[in-house]
A = this chain, B = another copy of it.
């Protein structure tokens, strides 16, 4: 009982196609309104996706959606309409392409810039296996700023396989697209396309086709047919212009605000605190500059960027370049703040080591969306950062207990002259904090009990306090609770001073390599027993954060049991 049929598409008149698009749009709109998700990017790509399904034959032909913010129509058309109301819900459809979900999804995406490399690999494998199908990479113009795309373009002539690259140009990444590559695309949209702009692409060994209005079947269908024909003998880049938010004026007019529509956050966002504090600090300290990779708004830095335009840099989806830029600015005595989501900071891993920590430079990483992030699933969970940062020399790692402590950490960072990473989740409570020094833990509850819990971050401290309650209710046991707000350096003085025999650690991160490992390592030659809790060795799917914690290693009952088991030994 699938609402949409590809077979139908193949027969339908353009008028009928338009009706189908209306239905798709309203399904997307209704579902995203209910489940949250990526609205404007998906609304813009409806006609394009329908046209692709009309002209090509999936799953025999393969399509890779770069990032995946445009795959909803594809999901609706490929047997997932009846499940579409479960989008991004636990156990329901993923918001991104997933091979496990459907044979129509041939490659998982989530981070920017992978689609071209992936398409080349699939195309090359096809050639080696002497198979015959078309490979399509659907890539937004935002991703064309990313180095990975360039590396793939550079290898077109090396790999020498024919694929169709569809550049879906809506002039936006999550923020408006910026930089030289963007200006080239803008020019191509002008009255007469400068030949050298076309050449910019064709030098790499492909045929440029465009501009095509991606919201108009009259233009789109013949263009795709032509591209399909050319594809037999060459790689084609089809430059399609679409309107982000197409069909919903409120979204067309506010594509940034409607790029990602989430169930509203219940609490305050750490990102707004970042914008507020950094703006205050920048007033007193003109050395402070802010750098982002195409996510100024989501990171809370819009007002900072408006107040300090000469000291604000959005370099586009270029996480590596942003890191080196920060390192270089710091060599000249400036104080760069690099705000980025935990999962995207993975892209700058080498530069964190090689450029920033290797030169011991005073760059502050504001690592947002740390810990489980929920509905976006595997590719967006921020659960590795404490592990991949903890062993890097010269780096200090801070995890605030609430927003007020986050503000204090930012104030401390202003005079700190080494690399520093402050890691925080999307939302939390303002709370309060006392002044403190870098490397100092905070005892939040102290008793004569034999159990102490070290927890990092607001979520895990809340968990610690609820564990404390349950322990006293059920077992008449009390526990001490410590805010382990610095993973590196550890508060050795405090750790040495603790008398408890049973040490429990809680962190919103994979269990291995973060806070627990550090504290267990510190106590390795003591007679203490250390129980470390964090996420298990699995990729966390999409779902509510609370439920992910419950199911994947930070479940309250499970931890209680473990504590009791070891406490009573």
Contact = CB atoms under 8 A, between A and B. Distances in A.
Interface stretch (A35-43, A109-117, A365-373, A410-418): A109-117
A125 to B, nearest CB: 3
A525 B110 CA distance: 38
Given A359-B99, A387-B513, A321 B537 contact: no
Contact of A321 (B155, B393, B566): B155
A180 B200 contact: no
Interface in A401-437: none
A501 to B, nearest CB: 13
A281 interface: no
A264 interface: no
A350 B114 CA distance: 11
A517 B525 contact: no
A518 B517 CA distance: 9
A524 B513 contact: no
B510 A517 contact: no
Nearest to A355: B114
**What bracket does the count of chain A residues touching chain B fall in?**
35 or more
Number of copies: 2
Contact of A379 (B119, B349, B354): B354
Interface in A330-344: 331-334
Interface in A127-142: 128-129
Interface stretch (A85-93, A309-317, A457-465): A309-317
Interface string A501-539: 000000000101100011011001100011110000111
A128 B334 CA distance: 9
Interface stretch (A50-58, A70-78, A146-154, A439-447): A146-154
A320 interface: yes
Contacts of A205: 180
Given A128-B311, A318-B155, A354-B110, A525 B122 contact: no
Contacts of A150: 147, 150-151
Interface string A92-127: 000000010000001110110010011111101110
A513 B391 CA distance: 7
A512 B520 contact: no
Contact of A388 (B178, B183, B379, B388): B388
A114 B518 contact: no
A24 to B, nearest CB: 27
Contact of A324 (B114, B126, B318, B538): B114
A479 interface: no
Interface string A181-218: 11110000000001111011011110000000000000
Contacts of A79: none
Contact of A120 (B325, B521, B530): B325
Contact of A328 (B121, B195, B513): B121
A152 B323 CA distance: 11
Contacts of A393: 537-539
Most buried by B among A150, A358, A525: A150
Given A147-B146, A517-B513, A521-B512, A180 B152 contact: no
Contacts of A512: 390-391, 517-518, 521
A31 interface: no
Contacts of A521: 512, 517, 520, 532
B179 A155 contact: yes
B157 A180 contact: yes
Interface string A535-556: 0011100000000000000000
A147 B145 contact: no
Contacts of A563: none
A532 B524 contact: yes
A83 B289 CA distance: 39
A53 to B, nearest CB: 21
Contacts of A155: 178-180, 313, 315-316, 318, 321, 325
B203 A537 contact: no
Contacts of A157: 179-180, 183
Contacts of A149: 147
B151 A147 contact: yes
A384 interface: yes
A333 B106 CA distance: 12
A347 B510 CA distance: 22
20 contacts: A99-B331, A107-B331, A121-B329, A124-B329, A128-B310, A147-B148, A147-B320, A158-B316, A180-B204, A184-B203, A196-B200, A199-B199, A199-B200, A347-B349, A391-B513, A393-B538, A512-B518, A517-B521, A520-B521, A520-B524
- Which 9 residue pairs are nearest across A and B when measured between Cβ atoms? A147-B147, A121-B328, A196-B199, A125-B332, A151-B321, A150-B150, A117-B324, A151-B318, A180-B204
